[in-house]
Chain A
């Protein structure tokens, strides 16, 4: 019996819930030990534009969902990932992680999603406030999502790193465009497939692959991006992005300040960093009195 010919996976990019090829048509062949692993899209400025547009369009509805609902949607990603462990295991191993560590990374990734999913409806009780102003007003501060957040994922942690960069950002209602690890992009697209099969609305997560140095500045320059979440060791590129971000005063969060590998990453402060504080005032009617002193 002849040997079965294996079906090779086509790795495309993830924009607005769909898996297009890059509009530029460019790709790079990913190899390991000179054996081709896959063809990976080299996305372009135009893909970035489409991804940002999709994230922008998704923002209103995603941010208006109840926190409870967002929490469940994220939990669902974890459920789906749990059932697809093998694919990620294979890819992690292909990308050079030893199997023991790969199993650990997958478990950690799933647990991390569940950890942050739980914050959806707890961030505001912890970090919001009712402010005792001296005048007769009811005054409260709540945290709101910022809008479209552009993420540069860490280079050397292809699954856990990407999940840890996206999930704390979208849990509060932000939508995202992420540039996957340039060296290790395989898990990113498989993660996109999991997300696509779960209940995450189209456009909440967009993932592109390609050369960071080419793509990242476009995100930093884009006037409709509200914040950047960066994992960048390349200081020149990072400085360039922070500089470009001033065009429309994007908020910049250095995600790499938190240690993604460690459980201490699991804290609400990163969620809070991608939120804006909004304070609302409203008069409180005082009792009706008919005294001339008031």
Chain B
């Protein structure tokens, strides 16, 4: 052993082999996706759940909701919205506390990795899994239940921005709510009831306008109802807008509410996010 000092090599930016910021984020995203796909629980419950639900619902309600429009056209919107919420809000709200409890987050904080790279990795994972899951859901619905896909570019565009805004809001809220869980195991206890209640009151399992008015009003405070409503404008004929609570699909309001939730989510994340557990001081 030596006590003589030997200056360690100074680290300069120029000799770095470290990947650039964008590449770091992509690597992080790839790692997150790998972890997700290798976790059987994640794949079955997060990706499988909406598909199982559409199989059940479309088999039970194989009639029409009037005007020759199949029930599937209605339920697919709830299933897509639920799927997007599951992959973002529930997935993150359950897994981040586990990673925090295990010290995975603490370990990342001890490296020179920029903080945002970790968040970017989660977002990339959510987006990739969300797209895959939605595509799978649509494929199953088209193949087995004669779902009619949107026929115009405008509808696909609406589909796109509703999904992006909705996933963004749910991702941010999922990261924010992860800080409520004190231990690894409490993540799902915190998140699951919230998600389940929102699914029931937001028109995922029932036709929204069949719900009691007060329930509709509570649901209107949260993103899921607006995601469903935006998606209904994509999968249902224009004329069905008249049956919505607001008398139309209210796409402007959908955008505003979802954007507002994105802002709330960012604020909550910035103020409450913890890299370590409480007992870590």
Q: Do A and B come from one complex?
A: no
